[in-house]
Chain A
Amino acid sequence: MAMRTSVRDAMLAAVPSLRAFAISLSGNVDRADDLVQETLLRAMANINSFQPGTNMSAWLFTILRNLFRSEYRKRRREVEDTDGGYAESLKSHPEQHSRVEFEEFRTALAKLPPDQREALILVGASGFSYEEAAAICDCAVGTIKSRVNRARTRLSELLSIDGADDFGPDHTTRAILSAGGRG
């Protein structure tokens, strides 16, 4: 069965986002690329079950996610390599980002429960709707919304977004405002 060029193009177009998703799931670039490769092979082997006109990207994300979940079950006892994940991916792409901010965020992201992490990535970064994310994760839309909310709250705690409450200028400002008899 020769692959139609349009199918190949659609798959190629999805690869960058698939990699980003895979890295966020596995926390490791090499494992992520293996996941993407396996996803493409599975997709090609089962291309007849893809319905033309439907969302190729969502289909590929579903396959990758399921592959990761089955692999995750097998490797559950292994120590997850979350070091060198995003950091490694950034080495080949030096830009003027705040490296510290990235590192901090990456570490916090890795601490989220897998369910919450994948929901947040799908909705917050991959550009899927709640409905699409629910289909990919095979759960209810409300479940996805709840996971995304919990992920955001947990991330903000881990990143100490609220940390300035006790020590930062925000506290000082509020103290001044409140001393000024506001309200």
Chain B
Amino acid sequence: MQTDASTRRTGRLSREDQRRLGDILQRVYDDVVKQGVPDRFRHLLEELENRPEGEQMRSRGSALHGQGGPEGGSESDQVVEARGGINPSNKAPH
């Protein structure tokens, strides 16, 4: 791939180069997306959906994950709640 030498001098990419980079990035990404939903996640969600009321999902999660004990609740809450103001009207990503 070639481009104008001025790109390097200014540190900004031309529109054409941005498009080329964007195309490759999208193809690499979509290559994974096209694999769809692996069975393990389909089964996992089905299992969770059929779970009897009141069962602790987090401890179940640790068991499924094959790792040590449940992590601290504070971290979990932090992970989940650290979302900014996502505007409901925003379009969903494809």
The 3 closest A-B pairs by CB, nearest first: A135-B84, A41-B61, A164-B2
Contact residues of B: prevailing secondary structure? helix
Residues in chain A near residue B58, CB distance under 8 A: 41-42, 45
Number of interface residues of B (CB under 8 A): 67
| Neighbour of A63 across the interface among B7, B79, B86, CB < 8 A | B79
On whether the beta carbons of A40 and B45 are closer than 8 Å, the reply is yes
Interface centre among A34, A40, A161 (most CB of B within 10 A): A161
Question: Given A2-B53, A38-B65, A168-B2, do A153 and B11 touch, yes or no (CB 8 Å)?
Answer: yes
User: In chain A, what residue has the closest Cβ to B32?
Assistant: A20
Residues in chain A near residue B82, CB distance under 8 A: 62, 66, 138
On whether the beta carbons of B13 and A153 are closer than 8 Å, the reply is yes
Question: Given A12-B41, A93-B31, A165-B8, do A124 and B3 touch, yes or no (CB 8 Å)?
Answer: no
Question: Given A120-B25, A128-B93, A153-B13, do A1 and B53 touch, yes or no (CB 8 Å)?
Answer: yes
On whether the beta carbons of B80 and A46 are closer than 8 Å, the reply is yes
